[in-house]
């Protein structure tokens, strides 16, 4: 009789707490399942014929997430950067067959990635808004620049980097910011991957940079996220590449790209 009374007392004391715990667990499971059940839009990335880079202009709102997929090979170098008008807009990068564990997190790395890929397959570049901004249904307009260069092991073993930099060569090239301004000189640094594939970073007089991409000896595009965008075109006069970006003109010697 005493045991039965004790059990009844314990039940009356702890029953409300058990109900609260049960409700909390159900709510937690619902939130978790809702997070993982959230639809993620997938878009395949394709380069134009003869090019190895592209710029995607798009926007997301609230909890919208977009995965940009790109098939690459182990040993290739990938450069991804994003310019956005929302400070809570970032991108992560996942290796093939991985849905959540990222090898790069834009929220801690200023939305700029450059590295040699360790696996072959479809990589995901996931663009999203941080949770707080997503809950407020904020919108982000962004430019996502993606570039793939040649295999890392194709670069010349004798092409040493300039001491204290990540560049294989540095110097100055002729540059002109508009047809009404005189021709001056801009600092540059080049990263070569071999076989005429390279990235040339040019520093303008105002401190902003242009990154011009070369693939197999051809100028294929530039990083639109680092400076004002403009129409891109290129030509070659003897051993000099002439690059036009909007009103700007840059003249890059062939030796910058191939070395020597």
Same domain, 124 and 61: yes
Alpha-carbon distance of 250 to 177, in angstroms, equals 9
Same domain, 133 and 182: no
Q: Identify the pLDDT of residue 37.
A: 42
pTM of the model: 0.51
Does residue 101 lie within any of the structural domains? yes
| 164 SS3 class | coil
- Domain end point (choices 101, 121, 152): 152
CB 119 within 8 A of CB 96: yes
- CA dist 107 to 88, 89, 91, 110, 113, Å? 8, 8, 7, 6, 11
Does residue 206 lie within any of the structural domains? yes
Same domain, 108 and 123: yes
Q: Identify the pLDDT of residue 159.
A: 66
Same domain, 181 and 239: yes
Same domain, 76 and 134: yes
**Residues 124-163: tens digit of each pLDDT:** 999 999 999 999 999 999 999 998 875 544 444 456 788 8
Q: Identify the pLDDT of residue 123.
A: 96
Q: Which domain holds residue 99?
A: 41-152
What total of structural domains would you count in the chain?
Answer: 2
Same domain, 103 and 189: no
Same domain, 56 and 106: yes
For the chain, which residues score pLDDT lower than 50? 1-7, 9-10, 13-14, 17-18, 20-37, 152-157
């Amino acid at each position: 009789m005493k045991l039965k009374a004790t059990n009844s007392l314990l039940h009356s004391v702890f029953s409300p707490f058990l109900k609260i715990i049960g409700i909390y667990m159900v709510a937690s499971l619902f939130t978790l399942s809702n997070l993982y059940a959230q639809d993620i839009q997938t878009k395949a990335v394709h380069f134009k014929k003869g090019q190895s880079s592209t710029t995607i202009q798009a926007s997301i709102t609230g909890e919208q997430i977009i995965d940009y997929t790109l098939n690459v090979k182990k040993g290739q170098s990938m450069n991804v950067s994003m310019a956005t008008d929302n400070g809570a807009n970032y991108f992560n990068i996942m290796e093939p067959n991985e849905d959540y564990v990222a090898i790069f997190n834009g929220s801690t790395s200023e939305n700029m990635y450059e590295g040699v890929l360790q696996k072959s397959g479809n990589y995901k570049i996931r663009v999203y808004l941080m949770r707080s901004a997503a809950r407020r249904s904020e919108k982000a307009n962004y430019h996502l620049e993606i570039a793939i260069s040649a295999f890392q092991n194709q670069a010349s073993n004798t092409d040493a980097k300039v001491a204290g930099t990540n560049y294989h060569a540095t110097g100055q090239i002729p540059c002109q910011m508009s047809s009404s301004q005189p021709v001056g000189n801009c600092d540059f640094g080049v990263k070569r991957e071999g076989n005429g594939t390279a990235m040339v970073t040019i520093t303008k007089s105002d401190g902003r940079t242009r990154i011009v991409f070369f693939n197999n000896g051809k100028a294929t595009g530039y990083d639109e996220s680092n400076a004002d965008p403009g129409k891109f075109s290129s030509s070659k006069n003897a051993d000099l590449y002439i690059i036009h970006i909007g009103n700007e003109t840059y003249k890059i010697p062939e030796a910058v790209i191939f070395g020597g």
